[in-house]
């Protein structure tokens, strides 16, 4: 089956620093990757959609200068949280799609727990 990995799985950083999270599709080419944020006991909220080689499309209310997304290859997308603050502490999950399957064929990574102190 399709496997998506994320690194790191857990990161703690100090307020004001930047953190990069990687999302990789291990056994398929991901033309589209999605980044979600999940707060405790809340639903996954889509932050942005990225297509390989193009600028990401951000959802309303998501600061594109704060959450930098790069999808430079068909197997790797990165999310950089710049100048992180405690309110950015959350569970960040990526998903990937080959673009050739059905609409529900998004494969999710295991998530990255970010804690900003």
Partner 1 sequence: QKEVEQDPGPLSVPEGAIVSLNCTYSNSAFQYFMWYRQYSRKGPELLMYTYSSGNKEDGRFTAQVDKSSKYISLFIRDSQPSDSATYLCAMTRGTGFQKLVFGTGTRLLVSP
Under 8 Å between Cβ of 101 and 92: no
Nearer to partner 1, 19 or 95 (CB): 95
Q: Is 100 in the site for partner 1 (CB under 8 A)?
A: no
Under 8 Å between Cβ of 89 and 115: yes
Q: Is 74 in the site for partner 1 (CB under 8 A)?
A: no
Dump the DSSP string for 7-51.
Answer: E-SEEEE-TT--EEEEEEESSS--SEEEEEEE-TTS-EEEEEEEE
Exactly one of 42, 83, 115, 117 binds partner 1 (CB under 8 A); that residue is 42
Residue 50 and residue 77: Cα distance in Å, rounded? 8
Q: Is 103 in the site for partner 1 (CB under 8 A)?
A: yes
Q: How far is the CB of 51 from partner 1 (least distance, A)?
A: 11
Q: Is 86 in the site for partner 1 (CB under 8 A)?
A: no
Q: Which residues bind partner 1 (CB under 8 A)?
A: 4, 6, 32, 34, 41-46, 49, 91, 93, 95, 97, 102-106, 108-111, 113
């Amino acid at each position: 089956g399709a496997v998506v990995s994320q690194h790191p799985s857990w990161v703690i950083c100090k307020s004001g620093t930047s953190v990069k999270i990687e999302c990789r599709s291990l056994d398929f080419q991901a033309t589209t990757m999605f980044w979600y944020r999940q707060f405790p006991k809340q639903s996954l909220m889509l932050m942005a959609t990225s297509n390989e080689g193009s600028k990401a499309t951000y959802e309303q209310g998501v600061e594109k200068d704060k959450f930098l997304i790069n999808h430079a290859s068909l197997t790797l997308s990165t999310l950089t949280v710049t100048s992180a603050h405690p309110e950015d502490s959350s569970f960040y999950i990526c998903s990937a799609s080959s673009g050739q399957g059905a609409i529900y064929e998004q494969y999710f990574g295991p998530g990255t727990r970010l804690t900003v102190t």
